[in-house]
Amino acid sequence: MKTNDVIFQTVAKVVFFMIIFFAVRIFFAGHYYPGGGFVGGLLTSGAIVLLLLAFDLKTVKKILPVDYKWLISLGLLFATGTAAGSVLFNVPFFTHAYDYFQLPLFGKTSLHTAMLFDLGVYLVVIGVTMTIIQTIGESE
């Protein structure tokens, strides 16, 4: 049963980026507004699921040639690395640091090592969700 889902696919292509941007926005805003790595990661994977629904597993794999299990380990590495990094500066494990920087384009911005930790969470959540969904989707 081959159906023509041109409309769906076209809309998906557009909406995908909208969701991704929203996810990234929520991720970065996490420290000041509702959001953060967890919800951001879930929304990002939601965007990828949309692609999966519109196209098929193989196509999506071609578009995003990512092994999500690696993403999990990368995320865990970020998270533990951020936490362990503080040890190098002779402060307790998991001490965060932040400061304000004058960046081009953004202006005065607060940069926080907690963001790196949140990035780890973000990656892990994407990896986990996508691994589960892909594995179940592929199984016979």
Partner 1 sequence: MSLVHWAILAPFILAIFVPFFRKKAATIHTGWFVLILPVVLFVSFLQYLPVTMNNNSITHSAAWIPSLGIDFSVYIDGLSLLFILLITGIGSLVVLYSIYYLSKTKESLQHFYVYLLMFMGAMLGVVLSDNVITLYMFWELTSISSFLLIAYWFDRDRSRYGALKSMLITVFGGLMMLGGFLVLSIMGGTFSIRELAVQAPDLYHHPLFLLAMILILLGAFTKSAQFPFYIWLPDAMEAPTPVSAYLHSATMVKAGIYLVARFSPIFAFSSYWFWIVSAVGLFTMIWASFNAVKQTDLKGILAYSTVSQLGLIMGLLGAGSAALYFDSLDDNLYTAAVIAAIFHLINHATFKGSLFMVVGIIDHETGTRDIRRLGGLMSLMPVTFTLSVIGAFSMAGLPPFNGFLSKEMFFLSMVQLSELNLFNLETWGIFFPVLAWIGSVFTFIYSMIIVFTVFTGKFQPEKLEKKPHEAPAGMLVSPIILAVLVIVFGLFPNLLSYSLIQPAAAAIVPSIIPSGEQLDVNIYFWHGITAELLMTIAVVLVGIILYTFLPKWVGLYNYFPGKVTLNNLYDASLYTVERGSNSITKSYMSGFIRSYLVYIFAFFIALLGFTLWAKDAFRYDASNTSPIGYYEIGLLVVLCVATATILMAKSRLTSIISLGAVGYSVSLFFVIFRAPDLALTQLVIETVSTALFLLCFYHLPKLSRHEEKMSFQIGNALIAAGVGITVTLIGITAHSTKLFSSINEYYIENTYKKAGGENMVNVILVDFRGFDTLFEIAVLSVAALGIYALIKLRLEKGDDSVNENK
Both tokens assigned to 2: 């081959």
**Whole-angstrom distance, CA of residue 31 vs CA of residue 23:** 14
11-19, 25-33, 59-67, 101-109 -> range binding partner 1 (CB under 8 A): 25-33
Closest approach of partner 1 to the CB of residue 107, in Å:
17
CA–CA–CA angle 60, 120, 65 (5° rounding): 20
1-9, 11-19, 34-42, 51-59 -> range binding partner 1 (CB under 8 A): 34-42
Which member of 37, 47, 50, 52 binds partner 1 (CB under 8 A)? Answer: 37
Number of residues counted as binding partner 1 (CB under 8 A): 43
- Angle between the N-to-C axes of helices 37-54 and 113-138, in degrees from 0 to 180, rounded to the nearest 10: 30
Both tokens assigned to 84: 């362990």
Closest approach of partner 1 to the CB of residue 54, in Å:
16
Q: Is 129 in the site for partner 1 (CB under 8 A)?
A: yes
Closest approach of partner 1 to the CB of residue 103, in Å:
16
Which member of 4, 32, 58, 62 binds partner 1 (CB under 8 A)? Answer: 32
Q: Is 80 in the site for partner 1 (CB under 8 A)?
A: yes
**Taking Cα atoms as reference points, which of 102, 92, 97 lies closest to residue 116?**
97
Distances (CA, A) of 35 to 42, 92, 118, 123: 11, 27, 11, 15
CA-based torsion, 66, 69, 73, 79: positive or negative: positive
9-17, 55-63, 101-109, 118-126 -> range binding partner 1 (CB under 8 A): 118-126
